[in-house]
Amino acid sequence: MEDVLIPLVAILTIFGGGTLVLLSLTPVGKALAARILKKPLPGEFDEDTAEAVHELRREVDELRHFEQQVNELGERVDFLERLVAQHREAERLPPAR
């Protein structure tokens, strides 16, 4: 019995070890290793990272709001420039008869 058991254990160890090595190179193996080591998977965030992402999104929203305000101010400046130009043109023209 011992004569059969030692070669069987050796074969299982060699092929099982090789299978585990190959499995560790696949996405499934990497996901299992991450779960065992309790590392976050790609796409998962810890609390600090999630809060940082939330803060960055809030800042981006603020910047979009500022951009909208700057565009509105630009439109107002354009309007006032046209108004001043019309007023100057009216001063240059001779009075209507």
Q: What is the reported pTM?
A: 0.40
pLDDT mean for each 10 residues of the chain (97 residues): 77 78 78 76 72 92 92 95 86 68
User: What integer pLDDT is reported at residue 96 of this predicted model?
Assistant: 64
**Whole-number pLDDT of residue 97:** 64
Helical H runs in the chain?
Answer: 2-24, 27-37, 47-92
What's the pLDDT at 60? Answer: 93
pLDDT of residue 70: 94
| C-alpha dihedral (77, 82, 83, 84), degrees to nearest 10 | 90
